[in-house]
Amino acid sequence: MNESEKTQKLDQVKSTCEKCFDCELGSTRTKSVFSDGSPDALIMLIGEAPGQNEDETGIPFIGRAGKLLDELFKTQGLTREKDIYICNTVKCRPPNNRVPTETEKAQCRKYLDAQIEIIKPKIILLCGATALKSIIGSKLPISKIRGEWIGHPSKAKVMPIFHPSYLLRNPSLKEGSPKWLMTEDIKKIKQYYQTLCKD
């Protein structure tokens, strides 16, 4: 599928998602938050759920956490404009930014599955514990499993990484700190990404 075919298919799914009331979040959202970034990206980053800024704009990871995420990836020359397609496990904001329920995640899963099917990413980054649990089913703390490559039925290589909200609460850059580890993980992602770009 070329980029314009992908865009067309994604637009169809997005339009269904915008009218979706399959779970209760449909009645409290301002905007559904489908995705940002290039449909031709080799990297897909999956976060938890939209927050207030995202609910108001319809764009994922646009608040403080998203800005930090952009900054960290930019240090390795990776941007959402070119390299990373960004989305979340659920497309509507849970009230008061609570964690989405199992039912909400299950009802919304069809949109995420369609995004993976259309984009066919080579790398999937699970950003935080909710994405990790949702995609891999693992209840391991993210700190135990982050930075490891894991296989996935879609054939993409999957890596759990810290959520940027956690990094905002832990700003130290000292060796071994969460932010330092995140930078190491992004270097590892970049190394593998470069091998894909050579293909």
Q: Can you give the binding site for ligand URA, defined by CB under 6 A?
A: 47-51, 54, 60-61, 65-66, 88
The one-letter amino acid at 114 = A
Q: Residue 77 CB, nearest distance to ligand URA (Å)? A: 22
Q: Looking at residue 83, what DSSP letter applies? A: T
Query: Which residue number, 26 or 47, has a Cβ lying nearer to ligand URA?
Result: 47
Question: How far apart are the C-alpha atoms of 15 and 198, rounded to whole Å?
Answer: 35
Query: Which residue number, 95 or 151, has a Cβ lying nearer to ligand URA?
Result: 95
Closest CB to ligand URA: residue number: 47
Q: Residue 109 CB, nearest distance to ligand URA (Å)? A: 16
Q: Looking at residue 19, what DSSP letter applies? A: T
Q: Residue 159 CB, nearest distance to ligand URA (Å)? A: 16
Q: Residue 191 CB, nearest distance to ligand URA (Å)? A: 25
Question: How far apart are the C-alpha atoms of 145 and 161, rounded to whole Å?
Answer: 8
Cα–Cα distances in Å, from 198 out to 21, 37, 122, 181, 194? Answer: 43, 21, 13, 26, 6
Query: Which residue number, 36 or 83, has a Cβ lying nearer to ligand URA?
Result: 36
The token duo for 85 is 């397609």
Query: Which residue number, 168 or 192, has a Cβ lying nearer to ligand URA?
Result: 168
